[in-house]
C-alpha cells in the first residue's frame, strides 16, 4: 500500500517539475484538452500529461470555486 502511495506522489511531483503551468494552459487551449497532443507539444510522455491533468482535477475538487488557487 505504501509503495503505491509513494509511486503516486513521485509521479505527481515529476509532472509538476516537468510541466510549466503557463505552457500547459496554452497547450490545453490549442489542443482542446487532448492529452496526446499536449504531451507532444510539451515534450513529455502521455503518462506525465495524464498525471498532471489528474493533479489539476484533484485541485478543482478541493477548491471548486477556484478562488485563491494557482493553476497548478
The C-alpha cell 477556484 sits at 66
Report how far Cα 32 is from the mean position of its chain's Cα atoms.
15
Q: Nearest to residue 33, comparing CAs of 50, 9, 15, 45?
A: 50
Higher pLDDT, 67 or 11: 11
CB atoms within 10 A of CB 15: 23
| pTM strictly above 0.85 | no
The Cα 41–Cα 19 span in angstroms is 11
Per residue in 11-61, pLDDT tens? 999 999 999 999 999 999 999 999 999 999 999 999 999 999 999 998 888
What residue ranges do the domains of the chain occupy? 2-62
Whether the pLDDT of residue 71 is over 60: the answer is no
Give the helix, strand, coil percentages of the chain, each rounded to 5.
70, 0, 30
pLDDT for the residue numbered 69: 52
Amino acid at each position: 500500500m505504501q509503495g503505491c502511495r509513494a509511486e503516486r506522489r513521485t509521479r505527481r511531483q515529476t509532472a509538476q517539475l516537468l510541466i510549466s503551468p503557463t505552457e500547459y494552459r496554452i497547450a490545453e487551449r490549442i489542443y482542446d484538452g487532448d492529452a496526446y497532443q499536449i504531451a507532444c507539444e510539451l515534450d513529455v510522455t502521455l503518462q506525465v500529461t495524464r498525471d498532471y491533468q489528474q493533479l489539476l482535477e484533484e485541485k478543482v475538487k478541493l477548491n471548486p470555486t477556484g478562488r485563491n488557487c494557482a493553476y497548478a
